C-alpha cells in the first residue's frame, strides 16, 4: 500500500543509491552480477529522485546515470534510450549547463556503443550554449581550485570513471 510508505526519505535514498551506483562504476572490473546490481541501483536512485523532486535537473541526472551504467555494461539499446531521455529533460529547462553537456556525452557514448559513429561524433562535438552565471561559477572554481558547494554527492555533477571511458581521448 502506497500510503504506508509516506515516511520514506526519497531524497536521502536517491542520494545514497546514486553514490552506491558510483561505487560499481568506479570498479575497474565487475562481474555480471555486479553489473545487474549496478543497473538495479541506478533505477532505484532514479525512482527515489522522481519521488523527491520533479525538478528537471534531478530527472536528467538520473537518466544520465542510467545511460552510463548501460553503456559500461555494454547494452546499447537502453543506453541510447536513457541518454535521449536525459537530453529531453534538459530541454525542458531548469538544469545546469553541465547537465546539457553530460546529456551530449551520454548520447555520444551510447551511439558509439551502438555502432552509430555519425551520431556519436555529432554529440561528441556538440557545444551546448553556456549561460553566464554558470561560466562565472566555473571560472571561480578554476581560479580557486574549489568546487561549488552545489555539486557533489547530492545528485550533482557526474564524475568521470577511469574504467568507463568509451569515447577515448580527443
Task: Give residue 31's domain range.
Answer: 9-138
- pLDDT tens string 11-68: 999 999 999 999 999 999 999 999 999 999 999 999 999 999 999 999 999 999 999 9
Half-sphere exposure in the Cβ direction for 144 (13 Å, CA): 9
Considering its fold, how many domains does the chain have in total? 1
Asked whether residue 82 is assigned to any structural domain, the reply reads yes
Asked whether residue 45 is assigned to any structural domain, the reply reads yes
Measured CA to CA, the distance from residue 68 to residue 75 in angstroms comes to 10
Closest CA relative to residue 117, chosen from 68, 163, 166, 159: 166
Low-confidence winner among 70-84, 108-122, 133-147, 153-167 (lowest mean pLDDT): 133-147
* CATH of residue 76: 1.25.40.10
* Mean per-residue pLDDT, 119-138: 64
Measured CA to CA, the distance from residue 21 to residue 98 in angstroms comes to 20
Contact criterion met (CB below 8 Å) for 107 and 83? yes
Asked whether residue 156 is assigned to any structural domain, the reply reads no
Asked whether residue 162 is assigned to any structural domain, the reply reads no
Asked whether residue 62 is assigned to any structural domain, the reply reads yes
Asked whether residue 114 is assigned to any structural domain, the reply reads yes
pLDDT bin (cut points 50, 70, 90) of residue 142 is very low
Closest CA relative to residue 38, chosen from 60, 68, 12, 2: 68
In this model, does residue 148 exceed pLDDT 50? no
The per-residue pLDDT for 7 is 83
Asked whether residue 4 is assigned to any structural domain, the reply reads no
Closest CA relative to residue 92, chosen from 130, 55, 46: 55
Asked whether residue 161 is assigned to any structural domain, the reply reads no
Amino acid at each position: 500500500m502506497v500510503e504506508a510508505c509516506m515516511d520514506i526519505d526519497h531524497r536521502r535514498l536517491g542520494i545514497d543509491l546514486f553514490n552506491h551506483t558510483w561505487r560499481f562504476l568506479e570498479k575497474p572490473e565487475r562481474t555480471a552480477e555486479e553489473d545487474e546490481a549496478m543497473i538495479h541501483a541506478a533505477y532505484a536512485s532514479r525512482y527515489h529522485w522522481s519521488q523527491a523532486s520533479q525538478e528537471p535537473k534531478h530527472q536528467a541526472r538520473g537518466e544520465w546515470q542510467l545511460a552510463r551504467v548501460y553503456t559500461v555494461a555494454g547494452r546499447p539499446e537502453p543506453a541510447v534510450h536513457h541518454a535521449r531521455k536525459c537530453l529531453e529533460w534538459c530541454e525542458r529547462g531548469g538544469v545546469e549547463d553541465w547537465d546539457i553537456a553530460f546529456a551530449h556525452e551520454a548520447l555520444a557514448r551510447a551511439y558509439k556503443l551502438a555502432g552509430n559513429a555519425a551520431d556519436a561524433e555529432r554529440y561528441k562535438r556538440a557545444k551546448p550554449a553556456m549561460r553566464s552565471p554558470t561560466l562565472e561559477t566555473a571560472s571561480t572554481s578554476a581560479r580557486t581550485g574549489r568546487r561549488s558547494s552545489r555539486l557533489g554527492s547530492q545528485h550533482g555533477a557526474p564524475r568521470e570513471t577511469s574504467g568507463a571511458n568509451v569515447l577515448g581521448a580527443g
